[in-house]
Amino acid sequence: MMPLDHLRSQIDTIDEQLLTLLKQRSEVIDQISVLKGELGLPLHCPERERQIINNICSRNPTHYHQLDLVCIFRAVFNASLNLQLLKNTKQAG
């Protein structure tokens, strides 16, 4: 078995990768926010969220329980919506 410090180091590396992916996602969210504004589309799209959740749950390759994955992605969706709202507020002001 690997020493605890080594395993924690692996977790730290994975966390950095998650942050990089979240940064990339936020950059795409910025672009989506602009496009939705230009097209007059609402920022919140529950149907799109359902599609993502259904896709993730149908192919869950992790050891996480499905409900936990849903909670994780709902938190990401909420943060993304907040990012869009903030961006639109700044553009309007």
More confident residue, 92 or 39: 39
Q: Taking 70 as the threshold, does the pLDDT of residue 93 lie above it?
A: no
What is the pLDDT confidence band of residue 1, given thresholds at 50, 70 and 90?
A: low
Name the amino acid, one letter, at 78.
Answer: N
Name the class of domain 4-92: mainly alpha
Structure-token match 């149907």, residue found? 47
Name the amino acid, one letter, at 70.
Answer: V
Three-state DSSP at 56 gives helix
Mean pLDDT value of segment 68-80: 97
Q: Which of 87, 88, 83 is nearest to 26 (CA)?
A: 83
- pLDDT recorded at residue 88: 77
Q: Which of 55, 41, 48 is nearest to 84 (CA)?
A: 41
Mean pLDDT value of segment 19-28: 97
- pLDDT recorded at residue 2: 73
- pLDDT recorded at residue 87: 80
